[in-house]
A and B are shown apart, each in its own frame.
Chain A
Amino acid sequence: MALIQCKNVSLAYDGTVVAEQIDFSVRRGEYLCIVGENGSGKSTLVKGLLGLMNPVSGTIEYGDGLTRQDIGYVPQQTNVQRDFPASVREVVLSGTIGRGGHTLFYTPEQKKTAARAMERLGIRDLEKCCFRELSGGQQQRVRLARALCAAGQLLLLDEPTTGLDPVVSGDFYGLIEELNRQNGITVIMVSHDMGPSLRSATHVLHIKHRPLFFGEREDYLASEAGRTFMGGYGHD
């Protein structure tokens, strides 16, 4: 049973179909990398997976005990956040908000969840720091901790290394790999950062409005779509 199963999904943005005939599934423990050029429909697909946008046709099904609220989403950084006054603790705690049901204030349980997530990502000592003053890599850890608070089963990351230098990006991919391999967290990562992001993926979905490839990473690297796309990166 797959956690997420997309069957012949078409998605439209502003009335234009930007992704169609998308077929793929993600099982527990897998690490799926969704690649494609800018404007190939990746971000729209993310909205579909999160249930923020209904497919024009086809179905997106959650299975194996997964519900929409169990997806930990790491969205792209927004302009608003660049000068937003917020402590690391405030940001991470806000990840638990969907879990509190109708309680208006954070419960001790929610505070514990946030503390555990900060511990796990090694940012507990930054708790009281101001989010906007952190380095890009640290900010990304904070957003990851927030996503872990929302859901411990599946992480969905949208271009998480945009604006990070290669060394910091490498560290970040290492962290995601650790969460996937050691903690058994299923990962879906959207990226146009070809080489490094594929390093630890188990599966690849390559889209250009339609799927060009879906399957295991090794097969992708050998496929035509993979070879063309990877271009200069070659195999690692």
Chain B
Amino acid sequence: MIENFLSMFTYPFMIRALVVGTLVSLCASLLGVSLVLKRYSMIGDGLSHVGFGALAVAAVCHAAPLAVAIPVVVLSAFFLLRLSENSKIKGDAAIAVISTSALAMGVLVLPLGDGVNTDIYNYMFGSIYAMSGEDVVLSIVLSLIVLVLFVLLYHRIFAVTFDEAFARAAGLRAGMYNMIIAALTAVTIVLGMRMMGAMLISALIIFPALTSMRLFKTFRQVVISSAAVAVVCFFLGITVSYLFDLPGGASVVLLNLAAMLVFSLMSMMRRGKRKE
């Protein structure tokens, strides 16, 4: 078993998947705290579907996937943000319209390329073989930029997330920070979706934040816990998928679900203790 586990690190594609996946999980979990609290979880989900459409078009045109998908998804992020800000209820429906349309476009376009069904499957549900050497460098650089920006803007992101009206009145350009958060989310989603799959990537954004909020009560604790939960779940998920030959993305998501159940249980136990 241990030998089997260690053999995982002898394959270059596994190392690439682990490095990029860990970084993307970190980015997604940090941004997720703000998105979940601002009730913008749906934006993450919508963007992954737009990303699927963009990647499909790039694949058929033999264009570099990330170079096409990142700008398209960033622009969609601004658009979706505008929609959700303007009309809270209709915004929700509008996101569904855009994301399903993009998904449908991807499904229609992909068969025009060469490798039809395996491609659709891989894009939808992810593949740890997806990362080529070039992509890895770009992914590492971009996710490090996302991480650094998050740390630098941490206090401002807190202020804008907690109370936008106050932040604006205090002279903070809340609109700009919302756009930065949306753009960083878009980049993170594109980087992670080929490994995790378009259908599953938004779990990386939503789960760690929700899980951590069960147990922790300050913003800082929630942020740190989310990062930890995300990295641990990703690593365990990929390990499990390697050892038992299971799909990677799905394993990571289900481990996130398990973590959430454990945290909920701990929170219930703590509450029970307080009552005694």
Contact A75 B163 (CB under 8 A): yes
For chain B, the bracket of interface size reads 20 to 34
- The reply to whether B217 and A94 form a contact with Cβ atoms under 8 Å apart is no
Q: How far is the CB of B65 from chain A (nearest CB, A)?
A: 34
Q: Are A84 and B162 in contact (CB under 8 A)?
A: yes
Question: Among residues 144 to 166 in chain A, which have CB atoms less than 8 Å away from a CB atom of chain B?
Answer: 146-147, 150, 156
6 A-B pairs with C-beta separation under 8 A: A73-B170, A85-B218, A86-B158, A86-B162, A87-B220, A150-B170
- Residues of chain B within 8 A of A84, CB atoms compared: 37, 161-162, 219
Residues of B within 8 A of A (CB): 37-39, 152-156, 158-159, 161-163, 165-172, 213, 216-222
Report the bound CA distance from A80 to B159 in whole Å. 12
Least CB separation from A77: chain B residue: B163
Determine whether the beta carbon of A85 is less than 8 Å from that of B170.
no
Looking at chain B's contact residues, is the secondary structure mostly helix, strand, loop, or mixed?
A: helix
Instruction: Choose from B170, B217, B220, B221 the contact partner of A97 (Cβ within 8 Å).
Output: B170
Note all chain A residues with C-beta closer than 8 A to B154: 104
Contact check, B155 vs A97: say whether CB atoms are below 8 A apart: yes
Tell me which residues from 66 to 86 in chain A have a Cβ below 8 Å from any Cβ of chain B: 68-69, 71, 73, 75-76, 78-81, 83-86
A80 with B155: CB separation less than 8 A: no
Of all chain B residues, which has the CB nearest A79? Answer: B39
- Given contact pairs A71-B169, A75-B163, A150-B166, enumerate 16 new A-B contacts (beta carbons under 8 Å): A52-B168, A73-B165, A78-B163, A81-B163, A85-B219, A85-B222, A86-B158, A87-B217, A91-B162, A98-B171, A98-B172, A104-B153, A104-B155, A104-B156, A133-B217, A146-B166
Measured in the bound complex, the distance between the Cα atoms of B172 and A213 in whole Å is: 34
Does residue A50 face the partner (Cβ distance < 8 Å to B)? yes
Whether the Cβ atoms of A106 and B155 lie closer than 8 Å is yes
